[in-house]
Each structure stands twice: as structure tokens, then as C-alpha cells.
């Protein structure tokens, strides 16, 4: 399957448009990956009905579904991309994106993204021998990760961080930290003794650490305030590791968002076919079918950008920053719109607590902010496009 992407580029400050640059990417899932998708969907439909995230949401103390997490471990999902020498299956990130999409469809209340897309990726990309030993614990589900970058409301200024490491000890506060209560290990963005911001690997079982739950819109995915007061911390990778991790997470989260968007649209479409008003199915009215058509188009655009992103990620392409930002922006917009219109299509029923539609809307907004808002990623996309324009002369 050949997918073509056309980018319109411009130069500032006059904003003159340059000719569109078109990139052809050959991408298709293999038979094995299609089989993996089918088996994953059957498994999750049986093991993670919609009452799973609802139950976690109703019980603020749970944070995540530990039973479902253990079942994913037993299925080998946490070991999928981990190298065989560290107890994993050694499969590709493209294989992982298949699972990500299915997890997104069922709103799985598990710390999969924080652990696999971020912590495991950081260890595989930049970990030393001692740090990579944690990969075996990730594969068996004993190690759960989180990324601690933000230090309060608003977009992060990555070069203006207050958290510091001195003599190997970390001090400062991070909030909100997604999956920060469940996590056993954290990747913490902090300044070293030279004043350079970089990532540190921090075990979270030290007595100097305090953790407090933070209420989020989607409480089926918990978050925390984590305070470090002289906590042992070990640097991991170079200062640019965070950018690479965010790009990879953006691509894989895009597949989760596309999965959620597709399921929200399916719910709206099914209801529009069944619900009758004035003697006709409501889906026959333009006010409904045009909105659902718009949601379908958004979802397909988001999926195409996600395909481009996973190609760039698996190929280790220099186009990854631009592809990741495009995937992130498109997926955020698609999931939000599909979830919103699913509520609207269901009418008064859709606004009730008992209906499932608000669960998708909550997850859409939660994932919007999980690794930085769509505005932050639009800015990253614009900068990447401008950089390509400059390089093209």
C-alpha cells in the first residue's frame, strides 16, 4: 500500500508558500500483524469490556486494573519489543502499534503506554548494561514506568526546569505524572550539576519520595504529584533522549487515539441506524450523517499520519520528528471530534452517566495532555516543516 503525504511549506516572516513536498511511503501490515490484531481484539473484547475502565473510574484507590495488567503480561504484550536476550520477544514497533490501537478501542485502564512506550524505549535506546537489566522486569510486568517532566499547569519549558540533581541526589516536585502512583521506576527530567536538563532514571521505592494522587478528568488512568527530597538518581542517555522518546510515544499514542476514535464513531453509527425519529432512522438526516462523515474523514487522516509515523519510527528515519508531530496532531483532533459527536448523536441519552460515550470523551481529553497538548505538538510540527524548508534551500 503506497501512501502519499503532501506538505505545504512556508518561510517566515512573509509566509510565502513553497511548492508542496510529496513523500511516498510504502506501508502495509503483514499477514502476521493482521492475525495479531484479530487475536488482540478478540482477547480484549472478552477481557476488557467497557465496565473495566468504568470500575476503575468509580474506585479512586485502584489507579489501574491490576488483573488486566497481569493478563497482558501473560499474553506477552509487555515483552513484545524487548530484545530476546532480556526476556522479550524481539518484535518490532509496528507490531506494537497493532496492540496500541486495540488497547485504545477498549479504553484499557492499564499503565501500558508509560511502561512500554517510554520506560522500555528509553532503556533500549540509551540504557547502560545495569539499567537495561530492568527490561526483564518490564517483560514480566514487575516494573511499571512513568515519565516525570511537567512541574505544574501549562506547557512545559523544557530548558527551564526547577528539579535538580546534585551529587547524584534528586530534589524537586513533578506534577502531574501519568501512572505516577502505580509506577516502580520513573524517568525524571531535571538539571544536572552543570545546569543541563536531561533524563534521570529513578527507582520510586526510596524513603525520600512522597506521592499524592491527582484527580484527572479520566480517573481510569491515574496521575500523581511526586516530590523528591534527596533521592538517588542516575542519568540515562544524552540530553536529546527526551525528544526521541516523545516522538516515539506520540506515534504509538496516535494509534491508541485512532483506536478510540474508530470505536466512538462505530457507537455513534450503530445508534444512528437504530434510533428512529419522525418515522426515519436519525442517520438518514443530514445533521447526523454529515457529522459522522466528517468524523470518518478525520479518522482516516489520523490513521494515515499514524502509518507515516510508525514507518519513520521503525525505520529510524530523519523524518521522525515531523511524522510524529503530524501523527500526534491528527490523532488528537480525530479522537476528540469522534468522541464529542458520539455524545451528540446519542442525544439526551449520551449525556447521562450510565451511557458509555463520556468515557471516550474523557479518554480523548486525557490523551490530549498525556505528553503535551496539541498546541505544543502543532508548534513542533511547524518548526519541523520550517526546518525542512530551510534545508531545501
* Each residue's pLDDT tens digit, 182-229: 999 999 999 999 999 999 999 999 999 999 999 888 989 999 999 999
Q: What pLDDT does 357 receive?
A: 96
Half-sphere exposure of 277 (CA within 13 A, CB side): 12
Q: Are strands 209-214 and 223-232 parallel, antiparallel or unpaired?
A: antiparallel
Q: Which residue has the cell 513542533?
A: 380
Q: What pLDDT does 4 receive?
A: 41
| Residue range 137-144: mean pLDDT, rounded | 97
pLDDT higher than threshold 80 for residue 46: yes
pLDDT higher than threshold 80 for residue 21: no
Q: Which residue has the higher pLDDT, 7 or 385?
A: 385
Helix%, strand%, coil% for the chain, nearest 5: 50, 20, 30
Show the cell assigned to 39. 487475536
Q: What pLDDT does 242 receive?
A: 96
pLDDT higher than threshold 90 for residue 157: no
Q: What pLDDT does 14 receive?
A: 44
| Residue range 330-348: mean pLDDT, rounded | 96
The answer for residues whose C-beta is within 8 angstroms of residue 387's C-beta and 6 or more apart is none
Show the cell assigned to 88. 522479550
pLDDT higher than threshold 50 for residue 3: no
State how far the Cα of 117 lies from the Cα of 256, in Å rounded to an integer.
12
- Residue 29 near residue 98 (C-beta atoms within 8 A): yes
Q: What pLDDT does 1 receive?
A: 41
pLDDT higher than threshold 70 for residue 158: yes
What percentage of the chain carries pLDDT values higher than 70? 93
State how far the Cα of 329 lies from the Cα of 337, in Å rounded to an integer.
12
pLDDT higher than threshold 80 for residue 277: yes
In the structure, what pLDDT confidence band is assigned to residue 15 with cuts at 50, 70 and 90? Answer: very low
State how far the Cα of 76 lies from the Cα of 64, in Å rounded to an integer.
19
Q: What pLDDT does 81 receive?
A: 97
| Domains of the chain with bracketed CATH | 146-235 (2.40.110.10), 241-391 (1.20.140.10)
Q: What pLDDT does 293 receive?
A: 96
DSSP 3-state assignment of 158? Answer: coil
State how far the Cα of 305 lies from the Cα of 258, in Å rounded to an integer.
10
Mean pLDDT (the chain) is 91
For 159, phi and psi rounded to 5 degrees?
-95, 0
Half-sphere exposure of 377 (CA within 13 A, CB side): 28
Q: What pLDDT does 29 receive?
A: 87
In the structure, what pLDDT confidence band is assigned to residue 17 with cuts at 50, 70 and 90? Answer: very low
pLDDT higher than threshold 60 for residue 23: no
Amino acid at each position: 500500500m503506497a501512501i502519499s503525504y503532501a506538505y505545504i511549506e512556508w518561510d517566515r516572516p512573509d509566509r510565502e508558500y513553497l511548492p508542496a513536498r510529496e513523500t511516498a511511503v510504502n506501508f502495509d501490515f503483514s499477514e502476521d500483524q493482521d492475525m495479531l490484531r484479530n487475536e488482540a481484539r478478540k482477547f480484549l473484547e472478552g477481557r476488557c469490556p467497557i465496565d473495566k475502565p468504568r470500575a476503575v473510574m468509580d474506585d479512586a484507590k485502584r489507579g489501574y486494573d491490576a488483573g488486566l495488567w497481569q493478563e497482558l503480561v501473560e499474553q506477552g504484550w509487555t515483552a513484545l519489543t524487548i530484545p530476546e536476550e532480556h526476556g522479550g520477544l524481539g518484535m518490532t514497533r509496528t507490531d506494537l502499534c497493532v496492540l496500541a490501537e486495540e488497547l485504545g478501542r477498549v479504553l484499557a485502564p492499564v499503565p501500558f503506554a508509560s511502561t512500554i512506550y517510554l520506560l522500555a524505549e528509553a532503556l533500549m535506546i540509551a540504557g547502560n548494561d545495569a539499567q537495561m537489566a530492568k527490561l526483564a522486569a518490564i517483560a514480566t510486568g514487575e516494573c511499571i514506568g512513568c515519565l516525570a517532566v511537567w512541574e505544574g499547569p501549562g506547557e512545559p519549558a523544557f530548558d527551564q526546569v526547577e528539579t535538580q540533581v546534585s551529587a547524584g541526589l534528586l530534589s524537586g516536585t513533578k506534577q502531574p505524572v501519568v501512572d505516577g502512583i502505580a509506577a516502580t521506576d520513573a524517568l525524571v527530567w531535571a538539571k544536572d550539576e552543570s545546569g543541563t536538563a536531561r533524563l534521570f532514571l529513578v527507582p520510586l521505592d526510596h524513603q525520600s519520595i512522597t506521592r499524592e494522587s491527582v484527580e484527572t478528568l479520566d480517573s481510569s488512568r491515574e496521575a500523581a504529584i511526586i516530590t523528591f527530597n534527596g533521592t538517588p538518581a542516575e542519568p540515562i542517555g544524552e540530553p536529546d533522549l527526551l525528544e526521541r522518546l516523545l516522538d516515539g510515544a506520540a506515534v504509538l499514542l496516535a494509534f491508541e487515539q485512532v483506536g478510540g476514535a474508530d470505536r466512538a464513531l462505530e457507537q455513534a453509527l450503530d445508534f444512528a441506524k437504530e434510533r428512529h425519529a419522525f418515522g426515519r432512522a436519525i442517520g438518514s438526516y443530514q445533521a447526523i450523517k454529515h457529522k459522522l462523515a466528517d468524523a470518518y474523514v478525520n479518522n482516516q487522516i489520523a490513521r494515515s499520519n499514524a502509518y507515516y509515523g510508525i514507518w519513520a519510527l521503525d525505520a529510524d528515519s530523519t523524518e521522525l520528528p515531523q511524522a510524529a508531530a503530524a501523527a500526534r496532531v491528527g490523532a488528537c483532533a480525530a479522537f476528540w471530534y469522534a468522541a464529542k459527536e458520539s455524545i451528540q448523536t446519542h442525544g439526551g441519552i449520551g449525556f447521562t452517566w450510565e451511557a458509555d460515550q463520556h468515557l471516550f470523551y474523557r479518554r480523548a481529553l486525557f490523551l490530549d495532555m498525556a505528553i503535551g497538548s496539541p498546541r505544543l505538538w502543532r508548534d513542533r510540527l511547524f518548526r519541523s516543516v520550517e526546518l525542512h524548508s530551510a534545508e531545501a534551500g
